[in-house]
Structure 1
Amino acid sequence: MEKTYYTIGMAGHIDHGKTALTKALTNVDTDRLKEEKERGISIEPGYAPFETEDGTQLSIIDVPGHERFIRQMIAGVAGIDLVVLVIAADEGVMPQTEEHLEILQFLGVEHCIVAITKIDRVDDIMLELVQEDIQERLEGTIFDGAPYVMVDSLSGTGVNQLKSTIIDSLKAVKFRDAYGSFRLPIDQVFTVQGQGTVVRGTIYEGAVQKGAQLTLLPKGLKVKARQIQVHHEEREEARAGQRTAVNLGGIDKTEVFRGDVLVASDHFLVTATIDIVLNLTGGSFTPLKQRAPVKVHVGTSEVMGKIVFFDRNELEQTGEEVMCQIRLDEEIVVRRGDRFILRRPTPVETLGGGWVIQPKGGKYRFGPETIEMLRNVMKGTPADLVEEALAKNILLDLKQLIQQTSLDEPVLKETIAAGLENGSLLETGSQKFTLAKTFSKITGEFVERVETYHTDFPMRPGMSKAELSQSLSASYPKPFIEYSLNRLTEQGDLKKVGQFIALGTFEPHLPKQWKVRMEGIIAALEKDGIQVKKWEQYFAGSPLPKSEISDLTLYLLEMKQIYPLQEDTMIHRSAVEEAAARLKQDTEAAFGLKEAKDSLDLSRKYLIPLLELFDSLGITERAEDQRRWTGK
């Protein structure tokens, strides 16, 4: 069974016992970690690993304060799957608790557990009052009805109950699909002596393998994942929901910044203009004028920009959602549906939050037509929603598409049928669907990789199927790779040669750079006939690299231009054919060793291996001390 990974946030007012509760759950003192000297590429202080009895792996983040909360938790639903709202029994709901609640709702975090801590400090009456206070504050919010657990972190009272409640609550949390395109928003960059640049963050979607070729956005720099760690442990792979550190090859620390994003495909947009749906904070704020400077927190990015309204010139408190646009000072990486927080830089205050409805906005006219257009984009047509889901997940069946798009089954089936008819969708053999343009994209990647391999290794029959599939596994799910490979083989674009994949028109051949020298070596072997030297002697003084000698040997054997005579000698096919013809002419239907020696005039050193080669090729067959011609 595939393991599941979740991230839990410990939120709440300062000194309400978040750190002590994290230690009670995980036996990890996150305060101690903050002062501990880092080794290797271990996970950022403040994060503690916690594995449940059923194998579910959790990362618990102890959020130390409001500013840190905004910077670390704003990674959105990918960063936090469930929040434990920590409220001390002796103080109740405090201002920072209110702020955390509001921001969590803006970010779309839907699952919450209320942990009432320090219960040893109050009596039953006070505890009841605190519960009523919390219930009143949560009423009408997305966390209304969240379970309560009474705990005392020092004595351990209620800790096991909290663990059980966490496990039960996670059953309702949708586990992020690791088959999406890999995306890791970076929240910390540093160097480790002897290893180079290391980045870390929580994987938003997809999976990354050790050795994978990645792209750093928005700059578009190519890097390699040289090493991967999850909570101090080196891994071959890390998946969506895991807190991960990646040692990058091919880049200096000065080229990487918090807010950059690591991806494994070109499915992601780099943009400086985003169309958004904005919901405002419940508190009061100074009215915001048209094109006023704002700070946007999205993913791990904190970017300044200007807010642009299309139906007003000033934003005041309103209970309605606002359709507008942010024109950013720097490019960022976002997708439709990504959550954000909007803050005013001066005076510093949170204005609200919402989600990105269009990651690459345009320039629109002021007026109701633009608002209507943005609302239509927000809602999305059924075809838009299907395309969006398949662009993100690549391969989905009907049930998964219903979950991803929230479309009714009849509407979804009608949309799929139309897409299959107009060619925008493809149905795979596994009754799953994909975008035609995604298949076109992977086709280009298959052909490009195999073509490059043929250029580098022209004498080899093709690229290993396993190696080719692995090279694309970080960007595409295995079933889609198999489907695409089979379809390209059926179409003739590619062909299977045993365990190798080659272009449909490719035939192994001598490399142009070494062709003349290689032909000279082959000619020398052919000239020596059956009196051959050791194979390595034919390369004496040759500038051929060892890798080319090895490939040439395998190529000639595969093409049956040469045969192994002994462990260290080869013989040309023409010499074998000529020797067989001469021997057959000089002997009867059956012959012995003496007749063969008289005919070929060979010493036993060469004669015995040659006759055994005849046997293995089926030219002759041995019966005791005699051999018979087979007629081949």
Structure 2
Amino acid sequence: MDVIATAGHVDHGKSTLVRALTGMEPDRWEEERRRGLTIDLGFAWTTLPSGRRLAVVDVPGHERFVGNMLAGVGSVPAALVVVAADDGWSAQTAEHVAVLDALGVRHALLAVTKADLADARPVLDDARERLAATSMGAVPGVAVSAATGAGVPEVAAALEAMLAGLPAPDRSAPVRLWIDRAFPIKGAGTVVTGTLAAGTVAPGDRLQLGDREVGVRGVQSLGRPVERARATARVALNLRGIAVEEIARGDALLTPGAFRVTVDVDVTLDVAPDRLPAEAVVHVGSAAVGARLRPLEGTAVRLRLAGPLPLRVGDRLLVRDPGARRVLGADVRDVDPPELRRRGAARQRAAELAAQPTGAAGAAVELARRRVVRAADFAAMGWPVPDGATAVGPWLMAPGLADQLAARLPAVVARYRELRPLEPGPPVDVARRALELPDAELLRAVVRPPLALREGRVSAATAGLPPQVQQAVDAVRARLAADAFAAPEAPDLAAAGLGPRELAAAVRDGQLVKIADGVFLAPGVADVARQRLTGLPAPFTLSQARSAWGTTRRVAVPLMEWLDARGVTERLPDNTRRLR
């Protein structure tokens, strides 16, 4: 399906032409039909001669309803510009075309109506010349009379040609459906409508609406139920679990987690105006939100929105100054902009925005500025993953950053060991803070040989002990080599300079094994103890084990419990043991 919007003055016969093309009445309200004046959005659809389905959003033409007009064109990729042969280009036509130009609409068709009342050629030539100076460029034009039917088939054929040139919508993209109507249906509940510009939606989907998730009970498109609606399409969604009073035009249904909801936005305007208002109205999709404007420099502006909007980098906004009846087009450049605190920060920010490319190249620049970001947040901002980025769990690191930090880390570890020579290296959180990383998980991409992550620390592979401590530990190991179970007494350890910190360091370094408080033996003691016990009849007593080991109860009791805990021995109900 294709979707277009109408544009033009109230007296130029937009709605009449829509009726002639579709056979449907786009004006929904009795007052509209009575006054012959489109007040709110109207909707109609038809099947073109080729079989192509076309939906039309008929927007108000009167200047008093420009807000409603903006709500109708925000999500539509093409326009039907209507000018009357007996009236010509008007101020309201110019305002509508300025909106289409600010939105960057590139596909349009010009229809000069009331060709039965006046010569359409001068108006066609004038309007096409004016349109050529906008984003729509060279626009085909057709003279038509809805009253006589002359030219209606030619309008349909020209629409076919225009629609054939539309770019294919991204149906794999997340859903952001800007709601333009919400109403109850008896027996069905709440129904909302909008133009699905990208993605797909089907019954059973869960979508985000504000701070809650809602279920899609049913989907209709052009008045018929469908199993799945695919962009581009006019859709009506029957929602589960929400009242119509909780929904308003301008709300958006979103794929959960796919968009960043923000009130601070950096944008670049199409042109640098002579004067910017302090406050304006920002339009996107069907939403209209007040905003305070802070000029940065040149065309760069920071917007502080009066209410949150789900925006992405690359979105197109309209900034409207209601007092001056002026509309400016703006590109969203950052939906999570940095704070501007220092003198000159606004100018620097404007320079960054001016230098930042778009697409993948822009993503690389942005990721380099942020250094590290959650991958889901980066995608929700609208950025693709740049080549060379490092993925670590849920995080993305800027290209080259992991290598830079890996080169810095040895100095961090060395400095830490200078200050704390008994420790093999800094705890992971200390290393994380030193490298200014948001999560210790990121160290996995930074710690490289000869460094290693061990027991919650970043350790040197050959950390070793201070010379004096090593000498004392060597003496203890020599004693244990002669008698594996002759654990030194606490006074002997203290006299050798081995206090709790030194002993803990020796244990971390794998040079001693802590059996219990005050009881330290050599690595491999479990094998030696098991070998000595193999000569005993099973089951055996603690006293028999002590004799086999040739040690005291001070050592034997904690050693036996240590062996039990490691599954070397098994304690039986009568307190005897056997080897496993």
Q: Is 2:364 aligned against 1:368?
A: no
Q: Which of 306, 310, 315 is matched with 1:329 structurally?
A: 306
* Helix, strand or coil at the partner of 1:187: strand
Q: What secondary structure sits across from 1:310 in the alignment?
A: strand
Q: Which amino acid aligns with 2:363?
A: D
Q: Following TM superposition, by how much is the alpha carbon of 1:73 offset from its aligned partner in structure 2, in angstroms?
A: 3.9
Deviation of 1:117 after TM superposition, in Å, equals 0.9
Asked if structure 1 preserves the Cα contact closer than 8 Å seen for 2:183 and 2:190, the reply is yes
Q: Distance in 1 between matches of 2:57 and 2:6?
A: 6
| Alignment partner of 2:293 out of 285, 307, 310 | 307
Change in 2 beyond 3 A, CA 1:349/1:160: same
- How far apart, CA to CA, are the structure 2 residues paired with 1:392 and 1:181? 14
**Is 1:191 aligned with 2:184?**
yes
Structure 1 position 183, deviation (Å): 1.5
Letter in 2 for 1:305: A
- What letter is aligned with 1:369? Q
**Does 2:21 match 1:25?**
yes
Name the residue aligned to 2:90: 94
SS at match of 1:85: strand
1:270 to 2:261 alignment:
yes
Instruction: Map 1:433-452 to 2 at 5 A.
Output: none
Once the two structures are TM-superposed, the CA of residue 178 in structure 1 deviates from its matched residue by 1.5
Contact 2:43-2:57 at 8 Å conserved across structures: yes
CA shift digits 1:480-522 (9 cap, x unpaired): xxxxxxxxxxxxxxxxxxxxxxxxxxxxxxxxxxxxxxxxxxx
Report the CA distance shift for 1:162/1:269 in structure 2 as closer, same or farther (over 3 A).
same
What percentage of residue pairs aligned between the two structures are identical?
32
What is the Cα deviation at residue 190 of structure 1? Answer: 2.2
Alignment of structure 1 residues 417-566 onto 2, 5 Å: 418=388, 422=390
- 8 Å CA contact retained: 2:41, 2:59: no
Alignment of 1:227 onto 2:218: yes
Q: Deviations over 1:145-179 (max 9, x none)?
A: 21111111122111111111111111211121211
Structure 2: distance between partners of 1:174 and 1:350: 29
> Relative to structure 1, is the Cα distance of residues 45 and 35 closer, same or farther in structure 2, using a 3 angstrom cutoff?
farther
Distance in 2 (alpha carbons) for counterparts of 1:150 and 1:93: 14
1:61 aligns with 2:47: no
* Residue in 1 that maps onto 2:574: none
1:12 is aligned, of 5, 8, 17, to 8
Cα deviation, residue 246, structure 1: 1.2
Gap regions ≥5 residues in structure 1? 38-43, 312-320, 395-403, 406-411, 426-434, 438-632
For residue 253 of structure 1, report the CA deviation from its aligned partner: 2.5
Which residue does 1:288 correspond to in 2? 276
CA gap 1:31/1:254 in 2 versus in 1, 3 angstroms: closer
* C-alpha contact (below 8 Å) 2:124/2:143 kept by paired residues: no
Cα distance in 2 between the residues matched to 1:14 and 1:107? 21
Residue matched to 1:121: 117
- The change in CA–CA distance for 1:73 and 1:173 in structure 2 (over 3 A counts) is farther
Distance 1:23 1:335, change over 3 A: same
Matched, 1:82 2:78: yes
Contact 1:204/1:240 (CA < 8 Å) preserved in 2?
yes
Do the aligned partners of residues 118 and 281 (structure 1) sit closer, same or farther apart at CA in structure 2, a change above 3 Å counting? farther
For residues 92 and 322 of structure 1, the distance between their equivalents in structure 2, rounded to whole angstroms, comes to 34
Deviation of the 1:384 alpha carbon: 1.3
Question: Out of 160, 173, 180, which is 2:166 matched to?
Answer: 173
Query: 2 CA distance for matches of 1:260 and 1:252?
Result: 14
C-alpha separation in 1, matches of 2:154 and 2:105: 22
Return closer, same or farther for 1:248/1:34 CA change in 2, 3 Å cut-off: farther
Alpha-carbon shift at residue 71 of structure 1 (Å)? 3.1
Cα deviation for residue 374 of structure 1 reads: 1.6
Native 8 Å contact 1:76 1:109 kept in 2: no
Output the CA distance in 2 between the equivalents of 1:30 and 1:86: 15
Partner of 2:68: 71
Structure with more relative contact order (C-alpha pairs < 8 Å, separation 6 or more): 1
Partners of 1:81 and 1:91 lie apart in 2 by 27
Q: Indicate conservation of the 8 Å contact 2:4/2:80, yes or no.
A: yes
Bigger radius of gyration among the two: 2
Q: SS in structure 1 opposite 2:94?
A: helix
Looking at structure 2, the residues matched to 276 and 335 of structure 1 have their Cα atoms a distance apart, in angstroms, of: 11
Counterpart-to-counterpart distance in 1, 2:144 and 2:364: 44
Q: Is the 8 A contact 1:281 1:350 kept in 2?
A: no
Which residue number in structure 2 is paired with residue 509 of structure 1? none
Asked whether the equivalents of residues 296 and 302 of structure 1 are also in contact (C-alpha less than 8 Å), the reply is yes
1:357 partner SS: strand
Residue 545 (structure 1) aligns with: none
Cα distance in 1 for residues equivalent to 2:194 and 2:202: 15
Instruction: Please report how far the alpha carbon of residue 6 of structure 1 lies from its aligned counterpart in structure 2 after TM superposition.
Output: 1.6
Q: Does 1:145 align with 2:124?
A: no
The aligned counterpart of 1:525 is none
Query: Structure 2 length normalisation: TM-score?
Result: 0.59
* Cα offset, 1:8, TM superposition: 1.1
- State the shift of 1:36 in Å: 11
Q: Which runs of 5+ in 2 are unaligned?
A: 34-39, 368-374, 397-580
1:340–1:353 Cα contact (<8 Å) kept: yes
- Partner of 2:106 in structure 1? 110
